Amino acid sequence: MQQWQAVSKNKPKLLLVDDQRINIMVLYELFREECEVFMATDGAQALDMCQTIAPDLILLDVYMDGLDGHEVCRRLKADPGTRDIAIIFVTALGAVEDEVLGLELGAVDFIVKPINPVIVKARVNTHLTLKRQSDILRSFALIDGLTGVANRRMFDEQLNRDWRQCLREQYTLSVIMIDVDYFKRYNDLYGHLKGDNCLQQVAEALIGVSFRPYDLIARYGGEEFACLLPKTDLAGALHVAERIEASVQALKLEHMGSEVAQHVTVASVIPDSSMEQQALLAEADKQLYKAKQAGRARVSYGALASSS
């Protein structure tokens, strides 16, 4: 679920791009044990795969029919969603000017055919190590220091990625907004240290709900949390929301200042291709307000609300 938890455990994703299958198979045999290897035989296919699998590193042939490696690189670097993917050019030409052009386009390295397996493995491992170290460092900047779940920055970045994929593949994207009822009263009554502990326990309860690897839980701000659920319709989002409420209720955290007991309120809305990202969040926030106005401790969605 949370991306940083998988940074040091998952195999790196390596994309091999070459219009000669024999070249791809040679590289595949070199890396199939250490990497999750993907293969593309032309530039257009490579661009599509970068959108769907987000490889950690690409070994990219320069000269191919249709879109050549240089053009593929230009397009990847022009797209905010793919510009950070590391690219190593692989080519039969070893002239200095070819290497200079590749580096100017944004490649991190340059390998000349026929490949030397020892050199190729060393260079690929070097760049995959750098990528993994960068991911680990970056992950710390995306974690909420108090609760250990994703922070608002991570939520916004993931929403951008999920939104683009949602539009591209025409599937639904659900957002659940979660708010701890009467949290200001909780802080006033029990103190801020207890309030911090309350948020930590709520976050643990959310993490304890069974999520898929690509779902995300984040601290949205203050006592608010948010869940991103790609490929989830309204019925699925409601099921998750109900599990979240049950998990938090099971904590049985004392809150003598609450008028409804310690619960969270949840709002969910499913976007379509005509909605903008901010409209999605605004609608989720509106439903959260409706849930609070209707008595708190409930799930609210669309024009309906149900107590829980």
Residue pointed to by tokens 């790196």: 12
Q: Is pLDDT of 292 > 80? A: no
- Is the CB of residue 133 less than 8 Å from the CB of residue 111? no
Q: At what angle do helices 152-169 and 277-293 cross, to 10 degrees?
A: 120
DSSP 163-220: HHHHHHHT--EEEEEEEETTHHHHHHHH-HHHHHHHHHHHHHHHHHS---TT-EEEEE
Domain with CATH 3.30.70.270 in the chain: 152-307
Distance (Å, whole) CA 11 – CA 289: 42
> Is the pLDDT confidence value at 128 over 90?
yes
pLDDT given for residue 6 in this prediction? 45
CA distances from 303 to 239, 267, 287, 291, 299 (A): 17, 11, 9, 11, 11
Is residue 302 very low, low, confident or very high in pLDDT (cuts 50, 70, 90)? low
**Can you give the pLDDT at residue 68?**
92
pLDDT for residue 2: 44
The pLDDT tens digits for 170-196 are 888 888 888 888 788 888 888 999 899
pLDDT of residue 4: 39
Q: Given 3.40.50.1820, 3.30.70.270, 2.40.30.40, 3.20.20.105, which CATH number is that of 152-307?
A: 3.30.70.270
| Catalytic residue flag (residue 224) | no
CATH architecture group of domain 3-140: 3-Layer(aba) Sandwich (3.40)
Higher pLDDT among residues 214 and 287, named by residue: 214
Q: Does the pLDDT at position 91 exceed 80?
A: yes
> How high is the mean pLDDT of the chain?
82
Answer whether residue 10 shows pLDDT above 50: yes
The answer to whether the pTM exceeds 0.75 is no
Least confident piece of the model among 23-27, 40-44, 69-73, 252-256? 252-256
The distance in angstroms from the start CA to the end CA of the chain is: 26
Q: How confident is the model at residue 67 (pLDDT cuts 50, 70, 90)?
A: very high
Tell me how far apart the alpha carbons of residues 162 and 3 are, in angstroms, rounded to a whole number.
14
Domain span(s) for CATH 3.40.50.2300 in the chain = 3-140
Q: Over 70: is that where the pLDDT of 304 sits?
A: no
Residue 3 has pLDDT above 50, yes or no: no
Contacts of residue 298, defined as CB under 8 A and 6 or more positions apart, other chains included, come to 263, 265, 266, 291, 305, 306, 307, 308
Q: Which of 71, 169, 204, 223 is catalytic?
A: 223
pLDDT at 1: 41
DSSP state of 81: T
